Structure 1
Amino acid sequence: MKIRELGIEGAFEFTPQQHGDQRGTFLELFRADLFEATVGHPLTLAQSNISTSQRGVLRGIHFADVPPGQAKYVTVTRGAGIDVIVDIRVGSPTFGRWEAVRLDDVDRRAVYISEGLGHAFCALTDDATLTYLCSTGYNPTGEHTVNPLDPDLAIEWPTETPILSARDAAAPSLATAKADGLLPDYEACRAYIRSLG
């Protein structure tokens, strides 16, 4: 497993080694020991989700209240997409920065998004199937969204005509979400994550 820390604290890329022969392919998608050694705490699995999207569908930017937040370990099991992690933690030295990672059924890489970070995904194929392991279950009263087309974020999406849900299209900008007190606090996120170790 090749592991790379991204330019946002709490975001990592995991690329598995694939073993193939005439029967097909085998790989380790997730290794608890490597994960814990990298991140500093185990991933508690509370929920596993799958979404399917047609080309051009844009989901996010989603995040949850911290604590407890919702960390995610995300991969694409069919098709391809661009996964985007956004630092929305007020007070973070990389506040407002984003990182994009291509997830597909060729390289089989995954990304880890810690509590307090924003997450979005844009499908590059009509059969993009996103699978993600979540540290907490869905909590509708603690879930929020920032508009993925916010010009201040200037995320370089791979489509000129993204397909968004009504909720994501109506989401506030990062600046509005900050002014409204919706965004997680950087130091509170760090303290919560330290408590997991």
Structure 2
Amino acid sequence: MTITSTPIDGLIVLTPRIFNDDRGYFFESFNENSFKDFAGYPVHFVQDNQSFSTKGVLRGLHFQKGQHAQSKLVRVTQGEVLDVAVDLRKGSATYGQHYSIRLSADNHQQFFIPRGFAHGFIVLSDTAIFQYKCDNYYNKQSEGGLHYADTDLAIDWILPYDELLVSDKDKELPFLKDAPDFEF
């Protein structure tokens, strides 16, 4: 497995080494020791989640606050998405900046998003199955989010806005400049 950093400190891309033969393929999707050696700290996942979505579905930008903040390791097992993380760590040199990556069942890449980031994705294929591991349990009272169309974030979601399928709840999320201070 190759583990690489991104231009935003803390965001990590994991690319597995795939072993193919006439039966199919095999790869190691996560190794806690390798991750700890690269990142400099361990991560212990306690909850796995999965969603199924159709083309144009945009989920995000979400996060958990306070003692319920979560790190996530995300991947796509069917289809393709554009995955996005926004740095919300106060005092960070990259506060308010985002990083995006295409994740697909074909490239098998995973994206690690530490605590202190908002996260979202848009489905680019006809359908997609999105899976993610969290290092803390979900808590409804601690959820937060940012509006996906915040012009200050300048996220290119690839698809035209009139083709996006966004929940009513996500349409009501605040813009970064109007959001309360976040505690992670």
Aligned partners of 2:145, 2:90: CA distance in 1, in Å? 15
User: Do the aligned partners of 1:66 and 1:116 also contact (CA within 8 Å) in 2?
Assistant: no
Per-residue CA distance 1:69-90 (angstroms, 9 max, x = gap): 1000000011110110111222
Q: Could you say which residue in structure 1 is the equivalent of 2:173?
A: 171
User: CA RMSD, aligned part only?
Assistant: 1.1
| Pairing of 1:115-126 with structure 2 (within 5 A) | 115-126=115-126
Aligned with 1:111: secondary structure? strand
Aligned with 2:61: secondary structure? strand
Does residue 19 of the first structure (1) align with residue 19 of the second (2)?
yes
Aligned partners of 2:16, 2:102: CA distance in 1, in Å? 14
Q: Could you say which residue in structure 2 is the equivalent of 1:113?
A: 113
Aligned partners of 1:52, 1:125: CA distance in 2, in Å? 12
TM-score, scaled to structure 2: 0.95
Q: Could you say which residue in structure 2 is the equivalent of 1:94?
A: 94
How many Å apart are 1:118 and its aligned residue? 1.0
Does residue 141 of the first structure (1) align with residue 108 of the second (2)?
no
User: Do the aligned partners of 2:88 and 2:116 also contact (CA within 8 Å) in 1?
Assistant: yes
Aligned partners of 2:138, 2:8: CA distance in 1, in Å? 24
Which range is displaced more, 153-162 or 63-72? 63-72
| Pairing of 1:40-119 with structure 2 (within 5 A) | 40-119=40-119
How many Å apart are 1:68 and its aligned residue? 4.0
Aligned partners of 2:57, 2:11: CA distance in 1, in Å? 23
**Paired residues, what number?**
182
User: Do the aligned partners of 1:66 and 1:115 also contact (CA within 8 Å) in 2?
Assistant: no
Aligned partners of 2:140, 2:68: CA distance in 1, in Å? 13
Aligned with 1:76: secondary structure? strand
Q: Which runs of 5+ in 2 are unaligned?
A: none
Residue type matched to 1:105 in 2? A
Aligned partners of 1:166, 1:43: CA distance in 2, in Å? 33
Aligned residues with identical type, % of pairs: 36
Residue type matched to 1:144 in 2? G
Aligned with 1:73: secondary structure? strand
Which range is displaced more, 21-30 or 62-71? 62-71
Aligned with 2:169: secondary structure? helix
How many Å apart are 1:162 and its aligned residue? 1.3
Aligned partners of 1:38, 1:163: CA distance in 2, in Å? 37
